[in-house]
Amino acid sequence: MTERDDLSLRTESLKTVYSEIGWLRRPWPDIVIRPGADELSANLAGDDRLILVPHVVVPSDWPDPRALGSDGVPFYRQVAELHRAFADDDLDAVRGFYATHGWLGDPELLHQRPTGERVGWCRHALAWFRSLVELTDILQNEADAALWRWFGACVPQFGNNLDLVRWSTPAGLLLDKGQSTIDVVPTHDRPWPTQRQRNDLYQLVWGAVIDAVQRRLAATPLEPIHRDLRKPRRPLVQWGFAAGGALDAAFLQWFFDVFAPYRMQICERPGCERRVIPPRTKFCSGYCADAHRQQRLRDRQKAAQASS
């Protein structure tokens, strides 16, 4: 193998970063929920409860969120639907989720006394994620009526700012310094769209969703999640996007499996369902391109023999 080939091999390996999620899952068994959130958070959320960090230590793992779906429901949808449990105060469902998957990822967890996740933050963050998932479904399916209903339910009677997050408290966005928002701001040359301005509405909402995704990704570090340094000249490092909790893991799974591949080209080799990442255009890899070419050659040879 030449030095150039070796460099090519290492460059190709960087592509495995795509969709790798580094999530250290630590289940929280037998959680305790009681008052204790800081005063500001309690006022913003209208809820002063905390989900306390358990004293029991259980084994942790590094699961792939794609392997955690059940009954045909992907993990990211399970997390989005967890919002209903918080909204309905279904504490049994909340306890069941934490016992399996651990904390959601409250950024103020370590600043609470006692240490724990704020119930108000959980409810708002899950409302944001559920809104993001459902709104993107509407946009991708071009469900006009549903989009107009969503927009109409959120459009303010006064002012210009519009947050498309539903099912949260008015001040919920301040619980994480505005990160969990899907906000749009019309400009003087693009006011709120009317029923006859379908394209303007889609452009406005798509822009808000993309900005919301970008903010979340900007706060997600890319880190080495597994290392093998036993060979000094060729250390093996697996990079991944670090998830701070179950919510980040669900968001990243949704981003890589649903949002980023939207209308992305699928590999043309029969039987391969991998996505084609630019600058490639037809096949996901050189291997699939060669395999498809060889298969077509064999098919032509068989056809020629059959006709002779």
* Number of domains into which the chain is organized: 2
Does the residue 7 lie in any domain? no
Residue 13 pLDDT class (50, 70, 90 cuts):
very low
Nearest alpha-carbon partner for 222 in 27, 9, 14 = 14
* Cβ neighbours around 282 below 10 Å, total: 13
Q: Residues 150, 290: one domain?
A: no
Residue whose entry in the numeric block shows the structure tokens 């030095």: 3
Domain closes at, from 224, 240, 259: 259
Angle between helices 119-140 and 144-154 (to 10 degrees): 140
Q: Are residues 219 and 87 in the same domain?
A: yes
Per-residue pLDDT tens digits for 85-106? 999 999 999 999 999 999 999 9
User: Once rounded to an integer, what is the mean pLDDT over residues 29-55?
Assistant: 92
Q: Token pair of 86, please?
A: 């918080």
- Percent of the chain having pLDDT more than 70? 88
Residue 215 domain-assigned? yes
Looking at the structure, tell me whether residues 137 and 100 fall in a common domain.
yes
* Better-scored residue on pLDDT, 33 or 190: 33
For residue 4, being part of any structural domain is answered with: no
Mean pLDDT of the residues in the chain: 85
- What is the share, in percent, of the chain residues with pLDDT greater than 90? 50
252 occurs within a structural domain: yes
pLDDT at 9 over 60: no
- Helix, coil or strand: residue 1: coil
CA distance 143 to 134: 11
Model pLDDT for residues 71-83, shown as the tens digit of each residue: 889 999 999 999 9
Residues 36 and 107 in one domain: yes
Residues 66 and 190 in one domain: yes
Same domain flag for 165 and 243: yes
Of 240, 259, 278, the position where a domain reaches its end is 259
Answer left, alpha or beta for residue 222, where phi above 0 means left and psi between -120 and 50 means alpha.
Answer: beta
Judgement on whether residues 238 and 210 belong to the same structural domain of the protein: yes
Domain span including residue 306: 266-308
Same domain, 287 and 220: no
Residue after which a domain boundary falls, among 222, 244, 259: 259
Of 189 and 10, the one with more pLDDT: 189
* 299 pLDDT higher than 90: no
Taking 80 as the threshold, does the pLDDT of residue 193 lie above it? no
Q: What distance in Å separates the CA atoms of residue 192 and residue 203, rounded to the nearest whole number?
A: 11
Q: Which residues of 38-72 are buried (b: 16+ CB within 10 A; e: fewer)?
A: eeebbebbebbbbbbbbeeeeeeeeeebeebeeee
